[in-house]
Amino acid sequence: MTKSRILNIIFQISLIIISISVWKLIYDMQFLIYDDNMGNLCVALLLSILAVISIIIIWFKWRKIIGKALLITFLFLITSNPITVMVACVNYEYIFGVQLKM
């Protein structure tokens, strides 16, 4: 395996893991009290912001990696960007059917 192939696989797997982690944090908010809800929200936002910043840095340094994983990158940017996380938290009751304990 070449170096670019290994980096591409690591990039794709990390985007999948980050996306699952962000949505798991958001989903788990319904079972927690107020302070823990805000903690999960902060961690999910921070994780998604850092991931988007990392994608931007990778875009400027290694465009071929993102070019080879274009579908996964777009799916990540649609489902796990900070704006989507905030929209999901604002409309939590409509998405998950449970009102957050605020």
Task: Let me know if residue 8 belongs to a domain.
Answer: yes
Task: Let me know if residue 59 belongs to a domain.
Answer: yes
- The pLDDT value recorded for residue 73 is 92
69 CB neighbour count, 10 Å cutoff: 19
Integer Cα distance of 28 and 11 in angstroms = 26
Integer Cα distance of 57 and 25 in angstroms = 25
Nearest CA-CA partner of 53 in 5, 10, 91, 18: 18
Task: Let me know if residue 73 belongs to a domain.
Answer: yes
Task: Let me know if residue 101 belongs to a domain.
Answer: no
What is the domain count for the chain?
A: 1
Task: Let me know if residue 55 belongs to a domain.
Answer: yes
Summarize pLDDT for 2-40 with one digit per residue, the tens: 888 898 899 999 999 999 999 999 998 888 887 788 888
Q: Which amino acid is at 59?
A: W
Summarize pLDDT for 43-79 with one digit per residue, the tens: 999 999 999 999 999 899 888 888 888 999 999 999 9
Task: Let me know if residue 72 belongs to a domain.
Answer: yes
In the chain, what is the greatest distance between 2 CA atoms, to the nearest angstrom? 50
What average pLDDT is seen over the chain? 89
Task: Let me know if residue 14 belongs to a domain.
Answer: yes
Task: Let me know if residue 102 belongs to a domain.
Answer: no
Domain with 35 in it: 3-96
Output the CA–CA distances (angstroms, integers) from residue 21 to 9, 10, 32, 51, 62, in the order listed.
18, 16, 16, 12, 25
Task: With beta carbons less than 8 A apart as the criterion, state whether 19 and 76 touch.
Answer: yes
